[in-house]
Amino acid sequence: MSVELDSKLIAALQSNGRATYRELAATVGAPRAAVSTRVQTLLDTGTVSVVAVAHPELLGLKAMAHVSVAVSGPVGPVAEALCASEAAVYISAVSGHYNIIAELRVPSQRDLYDAIATIRAEPGVRTVNTLFYAEVIKGIFMPKSALRADVRLDAKDVALIELLERNGRMPFLELAERTGLSPSAARNRVNHLIDSTALRVGAVVKRRGGGRTLAMGIGVNLGSRDREVCAQIEALPGIEFLARTLGRFDLIGTVAADSSGDLYSLAEHIRTIDGVMALETWTHLEVFKEHYARSLDVRG
């Protein structure tokens, strides 16, 4: 029961990291006391951390890509070296033909080329394959729309964002005390940042153990029914990330589940979808880095 409840809570926190215990209880259909206990356990054990991420446009990040790296020799030293790159927001050791995957977010395509060139030059790197994001369909820390034109931040907003980047569930009272705002003003500002797409708050999951902490990457080649297939895959349980890409795949994604059997069943289901021409999968073995925060300047 706890694994099933944890899975539901993780999914709910990925959707809304600042949901109250009452809201979470209503979402997962469990008593508030049980929800409070399980959420606190997930946080205390480090299985889940809830963080805020500013809209990429606020951070000046306009070019994004998924990079697969094949390594000669041990994977660890290469992964650790890549972690030092500010361009890489996510780095994971994976099974399959490639040994490491990374997500890069940079200001321009030239910066992206330079970041990939740096990866290629790293000792131990044998091959680098790049998928450019044409459109992000679903992502915990990826907005579904462009930044609203009327978004303007002041120093108080930036201070709130920086606090929430470290603890996305920080209470409004503590946010108020640490920024010099009243509790109601802190609440209004945070809600406005979220509603205006300037900020997303969600759960980062440590990929070990049970409770939707097993993850599989998928690379899909599509036929002519592009939109219909994307919609069907997006609707599947456990889809955390989905993007249209330019490169060896038309679509890539991340699927989370409670067990390897569930991941297998999901992969088999995707293969049966009309319009899926080919499917490649890889398992996330060890996440070395998942950090999306960047320094944020006040917009005038």
Give a yes or no: residue 263 inside a domain: yes
Looking at the 3D structure of the chain, how many domains does it have?
3
pLDDT in tens, 246-270: 999 999 999 988 888 999 999 999 9
Shared domain for 122 and 19, answered yes or no, is no
Shared domain for 240 and 259, answered yes or no, is yes
pLDDT in tens, 27-47: 999 999 999 999 999 999 888
pLDDT above 50 (res 297): yes
- Angle at Cα 44 formed by Cα 82 and Cα 214, nearest 5°? 55
Neighbours of 124 (CB within 10 A): 17
CATH code for the domain of 258: 3.30.70.3460
Shared domain for 29 and 162, answered yes or no, is no
Give a yes or no: residue 106 inside a domain: yes
Q: Which range of residues forms the domain containing residue 39?
A: 2-45
Give a yes or no: residue 41 inside a domain: yes
Nearest to 209 by CA among 91, 48, 47: 47
Give a yes or no: residue 13 inside a domain: yes
- Structure confidence at residue 1 as a pLDDT band (50, 70, 90): very low
CATH code for the domain of 19: 1.10.10
Shared domain for 217 and 68, answered yes or no, is yes
pTM over 0.75: yes
Shared domain for 101 and 17, answered yes or no, is no
In sequence order, which residues have a C-beta less than 8 Å from that of residue 192 and are 6 or more positions away?
Answer: none
Give a yes or no: residue 300 inside a domain: no
